[in-house]
Amino acid sequence: MGRFSPKTLDLDGKVILVTGGTGSFGRRFIETVLRRSAPRKVIVYSRDELKQSDMQLELREQFDEATYAKLRFFLGDVRDRERLTLALRGVDIVIHAAALKQVPAAEYNPSECIHTNVLGAENVVWASLNNHVKQVVALSTDKACNPINLYGATKLASDKTFVAANNLSGDIGTRFAVVRYGNVVGSRGSVVPLYKRLLGQGATELPVTDARMTRFWITLNQGVEFVLSSLEIMRGGEIFVPKIPSMTMPDLVKAMSPDVGVKIVGIRPGEKLHEMMISADDARATVELADRYVIEPTFVEYPRKPFRGEAGTKDVAEGFSYSSDSNDDWLSEDGLNAMLAEKA
């Protein structure tokens, strides 16, 4: 159990669907749920048949026959509202992890990113409401805060869609929330696997776009724990932001291999120098908990008890922002190595 572990969440008997379920997060989330609880069914919803086939083989080796029998693999795209609606029949909980995430690819193919990240989010909302799903948690990104690239802009639009969806649920009662966190150490979209590959090939220098660049870092297991604990405490309309450490990119290089040099290659299109997860404008709606921040919804037309004012919460300071360069939690070399040592 990790730093964000839920305390009372009970998933026994629940039907859970994960969009993008064959991705790094989806796989780890599903493995964690099957090990810790006894859901009635877990549905993997994704569009890649090869990844689904590989995942079936891997999970069949990990779990006994009774546990594996709880899994369902559903081919489909979040762009396809009818298929998604069919997949969500009888589902209690949706974890929406499907997205196009590569910043340069989104800059070059904007319509594809919009169709998946924005219209796909709308389809998840629509299908969830029509199937009376109880809870929906959507994964976001630090790039959705004050976005400068298309990927971040589409995820901001997605976040707004899920937050506003609570006002549409009426007597259906579906509740929607968002989790927003930074770079995942070791995930397929992270720079860490690239660095490992280059080091394995004998590289004497590793590429860094700018020597001043900083990033938030979280492990895959911590990301899963954070989603589960946010699912546990959500009330509808929140954006949950974890308290996680930052590191400069040159320090990341040195922590991975003290003997290699740093090659500055220049910032890529759409890339930020520092990442932000809460802006000063968001701060007016933000409350602080022990292990996370909660950006509360500002337009509420549904029954909801706010976090603000409860024991264990406090308002953030006027003008507060949560940025990777002004963070007060910095990742050490030992801390990074501990993250890298986690199960890949």
pLDDT one-digit tens code per residue, 279-310? 999 999 999 999 999 999 999 999 999 999 99
270 confidence band (pLDDT: 50, 70, 90) = confident
pLDDT value at 343 more than 70: no
Cα 343–Cα 277–Cα 320 angle in degrees, nearest 5: 135
| pLDDT tens per residue across span 203-259 | 999 999 999 999 999 999 999 999 999 999 999 999 999 999 999 999 999 988 888
pLDDT value at 75 more than 60: yes
Query: Cα–Cα distance between 184 and 172 in angstroms, integer?
Result: 35
Residue 58's pLDDT is what?
96
Closest C-alpha to 321, from 288, 296, 272: 288
Residue length of the chain:
344
Query: Cα–Cα distance between 159 and 277 in angstroms, integer?
Result: 13
Percentage of residues in the chain with pLDDT exceeding 70?
98
201 confidence band (pLDDT: 50, 70, 90) = very high
143 belongs to the catalytic site: yes
Domain 77-182+218-244+276-323 has CATH 3.30.1330.10: no
**Mean per-residue pLDDT, 312-335:** 94
Closest C-alpha to 272, from 151, 189, 181: 151
Residue 2's pLDDT is what?
63
pLDDT value at 187 more than 80: no
Residue 340's pLDDT is what?
81
| pLDDT tens per residue across span 106-135 | 999 999 999 999 999 999 999 999 999 999
Closest C-alpha to 176, from 141, 137, 144, 139: 137
Residue 241's pLDDT is what?
98
| pLDDT tens per residue across span 157-186 | 999 999 999 999 999 999 999 999 988 986
Identified catalytic residue from 143, 155, 243, 272: 143
Q: Which residue has the higher pLDDT, 338 or 78?
A: 78
pLDDT value at 344 more than 60: no
Residue 132's pLDDT is what?
98
Residue 190's pLDDT is what?
76
Query: Cα–Cα distance between 116 and 96 in angstroms, integer?
Result: 12
Which residue type does 94 have? V
3 confidence band (pLDDT: 50, 70, 90) = confident
